[in-house]
């Protein structure tokens, strides 16, 4: 059986760039995994995620999700994936409710069903009291929470998140990680997330790949990888060993 997400020889070179941002990258991700694509700034994480959610097009390579080709079956793939981008993709002058209604509509949701889904989500993420306030008045952590809700209203089978917990308060971070774990546990949602926060990834991910200069340089289960490097206690040390670089930006 092919993997749930099957990435074969993906390569992306931006116009005028001297090197590939993603360089012949192959990766298999199983269903219901919490998969971490980890690497330092500029490693190619956002480029990879953007290709997987059809926001940019690779120069070469193939991606299959649930056996469907990203190139030839775009519309069907769009229905089963959810995207939470690194940069907040909300309309600042609209309220949280108006933003979520907009994104819900985009995924074909409407009426009572959409209203109920928004209502349940704002309770889970502690945003009930801000529902009718303009996004412009929200803190960074609150915007991230709305951004996340926008990506999951249609209950995708696969959720792509690009650095969803970077630069926000601890409370928002915990709410986000806990909810993602619940989605994975209760609905079997496959989660693909990028991060440069190794301590978080070590606890959160069931499987990881370390990416550097557009290439996968290591892959495995966090606990297993630590076991295989007896002189190290954590993922961050292993990363330093493999790349000679710190993950912190």
Ligand X SMILES: Nc1ncnc2c1ncn2[C@@H]1O[C@H](COP(=O)(O)OP(=O)(O)O)[C@@H](O)[C@H]1O
**C-alpha span between 30 and 53 (Å, rounded):** 17
> Could you tell which of Mg ion, ligand X, none binds residue 243, using a CB distance below 5 to 8 A set by kind?
none
> Could you tell which of ligand X, Mg ion, none binds residue 91, using a CB distance below 5 to 8 A set by kind?
none
By CB under 5 A, what part of segment 176-195 binds Mg ion? none
Quote the least distance from Cβ 47 to ligand X, whole Å. 3
Quote the least distance from Cβ 45 to Mg ion, whole Å. 5
> Could you tell which of ligand X, Mg ion, none binds residue 44, using a CB distance below 5 to 8 A set by kind?
ligand X
Quote the least distance from Cβ 20 to ligand X, whole Å. 9
**3-state secondary structure (DSSP) of residue 69:** strand
* Beta carbon nearer to Mg ion, 75 or 249: 249
- The token pair at 110 is 């409407």
Q: Are 31 and 190 in contact (CB under 8 A)?
A: yes
Quote the least distance from Cβ 247 to ligand X, whole Å. 11
> Could you tell which of Mg ion, ligand X, none binds residue 190, using a CB distance below 5 to 8 A set by kind?
none
The footprint of Mg ion on this chain (CB under 5 A) covers a number of residues equal to: 2
Classify strands 5-12 and 22-29 as parallel, antiparallel or unpaired.
antiparallel
**C-alpha span between 218 and 48 (Å, rounded):** 16
| Number of CB atoms found within 10 A of residue 244's CB | 8
Residues that bind ligand X (CB under 6 A): 14, 17, 21, 39, 41-47
Residue whose Cβ sits closest to Mg ion: 46
E strand or H helix at 171, and its extent? helix 170-182
Cα dihedral 187, 165, 175, 227 in deg (nearest 10): 70
Quote the least distance from Cβ 248 to ligand X, whole Å. 13
**C-alpha span between 12 and 215 (Å, rounded):** 11
46 touches Mg ion (CB under 5 A): yes
Which positions touch Mg ion (CB under 5 A)? 45-46
């Amino acid at each position: 059986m092919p993997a749930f997400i099957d990435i074969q020889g993906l390569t992306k070179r931006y116009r005028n760039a001297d090197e590939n941002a993603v360089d012949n990258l192959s990766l298999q991700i199983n269903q219901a995994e919490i998969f971490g694509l980890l690497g330092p700034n500029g490693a190619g994480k956002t480029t990879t995620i953007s290709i997987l959610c059809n926001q940019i097009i690779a120069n070469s390579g193939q991606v299959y999700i649930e056996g469907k080709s990203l190139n030839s079956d775009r519309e069907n793939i769009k229905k089963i994936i959810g995207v939470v981008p690194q940069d907040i993709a909300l309309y600042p002058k609209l309220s949280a409710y108006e933003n979520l209604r907009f994104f819900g509509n985009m995924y074909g949701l409407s009426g009572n069903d959409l209203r109920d889904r928004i209502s349940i989500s704002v309770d889970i993420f502690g945003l009930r009291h801000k529902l009718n306030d303009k996004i412009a008045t929200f803190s960074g952590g609150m915007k991230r929470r709305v951004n996340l809700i926008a990506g999951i209203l249609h209950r995708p089978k696969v959720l792509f998140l690009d650095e969803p917990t970077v630069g926000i308060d601890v409370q928002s971070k915990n709410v986000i990680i806990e909810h993602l774990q619940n989605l994975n546990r209760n609905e079997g949602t496959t989660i693909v997330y990028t991060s440069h926060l190794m301590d978080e990834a070590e606890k959160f991910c069931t499987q990881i790949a370390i990416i550097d200069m557009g290439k996968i340089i290591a892959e495995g289960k966090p606990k297993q990888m630590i076991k295989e490097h007896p002189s190290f206690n954590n993922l961050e040390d292993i990363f330093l060993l493999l790349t000679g670089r710190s993950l912190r930006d």
